């Protein structure tokens, strides 16, 4: 293996603001050294890598720069691909030159991968253009926290006070009085409009507008307006009223727990992000292949004797056709068989396999499918493709209507064993607004995993059946999808938020 170190900018906070190049480098990394300003969710891009946190303010010890460098060199010396993940951009107040010097001395190749720096992100997310043709044709990025031990400041505050454009101050919370006084004493107008943007691009982003001479009192420890904060100083901040957009998204400020199986969570999580919410993913249910294919194989071999094939979920379609192909068949094996589906997503999954559904109930309920099939079910051979567990309502009613019903399990639906500690902490701290529940099995296991904590969040259920499973456990349901789709579920959450 040839060692290499990637110095990657993680961006301002939102994991989706990482560059494509940064994501690709992370996927190939053996080790990731990440700091507290880089969103830990990005680590999901490097699931097989060793993850090493080099410090998070207020939570863990902050590593010294020489310790970080030594750790980086140690792993590279072993021939590993090392990703050094930094908040923002590696070239802006990130001490990257010190790490590059050490890599050059050790003869280790490296690559610097740019990221979105906080000044640009704070401006965009607060609706403030840091340059403007009328108000500011230049911008200066300034550190509010110089290297300790300097005998005097290296910053020319007189020049900065006269600077004909926007000033952006990084890392200036604890030294706010020092740099605001320095600017004002050097002639900067105390009334200069200023915006303080905290945790830009994250769900709890906050922006305060004030005068320059009010900044220090707004950033006192008692204000709880703690780092990371970017200060934007200048007339451009007055444009925020017309250019703000983050606050107008319907789920702005809402943190929503996604409890679907891991391989299905992204669709819902992406939809939440598009509406301005912040998804947390903690599956309560896992989908796994079955251990014994005997019954499924027999069903596929006996399709010539089947009149009706019912798919209850998109997962059922995926696992059924995977096995069909493993047995060296394709969709032609279903020729002449009537195919029914429950749910639009199931129908679309069948279309991917070249199968058009003959029957699709409008409200996506199993009982509605029974209503459509009941009059012709007598004497029919009906096969239901389903999960290892679920409601028995559909097969029971079809049998009562005179059908010969065969239930075939195509995949396992199993409980996640233990609760995610970070989710427990977030619930206890009141940081989760909604929990989405997309099946009765999910409802049951969520209750087991999180118990009474679920009484302190709002619950959104995919259907009345799922809502009933929650209510049977003493939980209040605040939103129920109608129709029973992810889109409708989010619509209800928006309506109730």
Active site residues: 35, 56, 171
**Beta-ladder partners of 126:** none
Q: Answer yes or no: are the C-beta atoms of 326 and 301 closer than 8 Å.
A: no
Q: Which one, of 93, 231, 232, 92, lies nearest residue 173 by Cα?
A: 231
- Residue whose structure tokens are 């019903």: 405
CB atoms within 10 A of CB 249: 15
Can you state the angle between helices 294-301 and 314-326, rounded to 10 degrees?
Answer: 80
Torsion over CA of 359, 360, 363 and 368, rounded to 10 degrees? 30
CB neighbourhood size of 8 (10 A): 29
Q: At what angle do helices 464-471 and 440-450 cross, to 10 degrees?
A: 30
């Amino acid at each position: 293996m040839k060692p290499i170190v990637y110095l990657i900018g993680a961006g301002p906070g939102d994991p989706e603001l990482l560059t494509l190049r940064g994501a690709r480098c992370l996927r190939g990394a053996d080790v990731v050294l990440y700091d507290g300003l880089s969103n830990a969710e990005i680590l999901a891009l490097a699931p097989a890598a060793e993850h090493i946190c080099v410090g998070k303010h207020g939570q863990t010890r902050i590593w010294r720069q020489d310790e970080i460098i030594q750790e980086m060199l140690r792993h590279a010396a072993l021939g590993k691909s090392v990703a050094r993940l930094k908040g923002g951009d590696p070239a802006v107040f990130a001490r990257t030159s010190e790490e590059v010097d050490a890599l050059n001395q050790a003869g280790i190749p490296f690559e610097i991968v740019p990221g979105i720096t906080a000044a640009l992100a704070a401006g965009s997310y607060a609706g403030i253009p840091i340059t403007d043709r009328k108000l500011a044709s230049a911008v200066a990025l300034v550190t509010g926290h110089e290297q300790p031990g300097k005998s005097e400041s290296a910053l020319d505050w007189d020049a900065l006070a006269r600077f004909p454009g926007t000033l952006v101050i990084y890392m200036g919370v604890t030294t706010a009085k020092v740099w605001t006084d320095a600017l004002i004493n050097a002639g900067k107008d105390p009334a200069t409009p200023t915006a303080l943007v905290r945790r830009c691009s994250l769900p709890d982003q906050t922006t305060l507008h004030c005068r320059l001479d009010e900044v220090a009192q707004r950033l006192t420890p008692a204000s709880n307006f703690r780092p990371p904060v970017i200060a934007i100083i200048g007339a451009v901040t007055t444009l925020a009223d017309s250019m703000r957009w983050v606050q107008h998204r319907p789920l702005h400020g809402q943190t929503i727990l996604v409890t679907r199986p891991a391989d299905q969570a992204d669709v819902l999580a992406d939809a939440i992000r598009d509406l301005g919410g912040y998804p947390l993913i903690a599956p309560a249910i896992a989908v796994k292949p079955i251990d014994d294919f005997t019954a499924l194989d027999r069903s596929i071999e006996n399709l010539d004797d089947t009149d009706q094939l019912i798919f209850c979920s998109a997962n059922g379609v995926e696992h059924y056709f995977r096995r069909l192909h493993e047995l060296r068949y394709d969709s032609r094996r279903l020729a002449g068989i009537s195919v029914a589906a429950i749910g639009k997503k199931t129908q679309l999954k069948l279309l991917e396999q070249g199968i058009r559904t003959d029957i699709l109930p409008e409200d996506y309920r199993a009982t509605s499918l029974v209503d459509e099939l009941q009059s012709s079910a007598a004497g029919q051979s009906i096969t239901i493709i389903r999960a290892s567990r679920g409601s028995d309502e559909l097969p029971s009613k079809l049998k009562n209507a005179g059908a010969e019903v065969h239930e075939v399990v195509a995949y396992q639906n199993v409980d996640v064993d233990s609760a995610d500690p970070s989710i427990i902490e977030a619930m206890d701290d009141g940081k989760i607004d909604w929990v989405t529940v997309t099946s009765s099995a999910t409802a049951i296991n969520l209750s087991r995993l999180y118990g009474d904590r679920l009484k302190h969040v709002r619950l959104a259920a995919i259907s009345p059946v799922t809502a009933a499973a929650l209510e049977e456990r003493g939980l209040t349901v605040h939103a129920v999808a109608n129709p029973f789709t992810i889109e409708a579920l989010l619509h209800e959450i928006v309506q109730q938020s």
